[in-house]
Amino acid sequence: MLSRPYAFNCILRLRTSSEFSPGHSYGHFFLDPQYENVQHIICCDSYATYAYDFDFANNTGFSRHVAEQPVLQIAFQYTVVVPPEELKSSEPVSSSRSKNSLKRRLRIRTLQFGTSQNINELYDSVDPEVVLSLLVHKVILASLGQGVREGRILLHDWLVILTAQYNDAFKLAQCKNGSSGTSHIDVSFSQCPQLQPLPRLVFALLRNPLLRLHEEGVHPDYRIYLQCLFRYLLLMLILESFTYPKGIYNVLNC
């Protein structure tokens, strides 16, 4: 890890087109006290992950009649250590100067996204690993503000609501013995392969020491350590932090 290239003194700014805007942000950074949607990062590498919630600017969302697609622009300014052989020929290297130099760089990436036209396209575009990363951030935030027990409840409720909305969208819920009988609910998301890993991922997160209570054998200091660590490294630590049944591990292994 020490030999890996790092960026220092970083500034990350996110801009969007007018239909939506960044909401809550998650990651190993701190907010700029003056400018909106600007984060400062002390140092990071290619494995650092940052996440954002987005909010619609109004209740119409993305208009289907507008030709332009939503746009997201990321500006990333950082300092990197550059060895002498990577410097431009126009920048002579003094023999008395140190072997490496500090360079300030700016990268700008502009992305245009398509929008889902129906619920099927929305579910098909789901990335389970990204969803899990966002859930971890949200659960940690809830645990810090309202306690671990509340974080567990929120995660459980999220899966229940997702399952109910999925069954309602695909009209899968059926009553076996009339209106007063028991209902058959598709809890395995059989109609949508992209959603199928999510129940097992949520189960893995619920079984993780991050969301286990003190009376279950998890020391509060260890839980705080996991909260700090997961904010930066997230997914791989979750997958490696407890023993899976073999079938579940095959699904979760990334």
- Model confidence pLDDT, tens digit, residues 197-238: 999 999 988 888 888 877 788 888 888 888 888 876 654 444
pLDDT of residue 97: 56
Does an H or E element contain 105, and which? strand 101-112
Residue 254, pLDDT above cutoff 70: no
More confident residue, 112 or 88: 112
Tell me the three state secondary structure of residue 23.
strand
Would you place residue 77 in the very low, low, confident or very high pLDDT band (cuts 50, 70, 90)?
A: very high
Instruction: Give residue-wise pLDDT tens across range 118-156.
Output: 888 889 889 998 898 889 888 888 888 888 888 899 999
pLDDT of residue 83: 81
As a whole-number percent, the residues of the chain with pLDDT over 70 amount to 80
pLDDT of residue 59: 84
- Identify the structural domains of the chain with CATH numbers, from first to last: 7-115 (2.60.40.1670), 120-252 (1.20.120.730)
In 3D space, the residue among 196, 195, 216 whose CA is nearest the CA of residue 152 turns out to be: 216
pLDDT of residue 15: 93
Residue 246, pLDDT above cutoff 70: no
Residue 79, pLDDT above cutoff 70: yes
Q: Hunting for tokens 């929305």 — which residue is that?
A: 122
Would you list the DSSP string of 31-89? E-SSSTTEEEEEEE-TT---EEEEEESSTT-S-TT-SSPPEEEEEEEEEEEE-GGGS-T
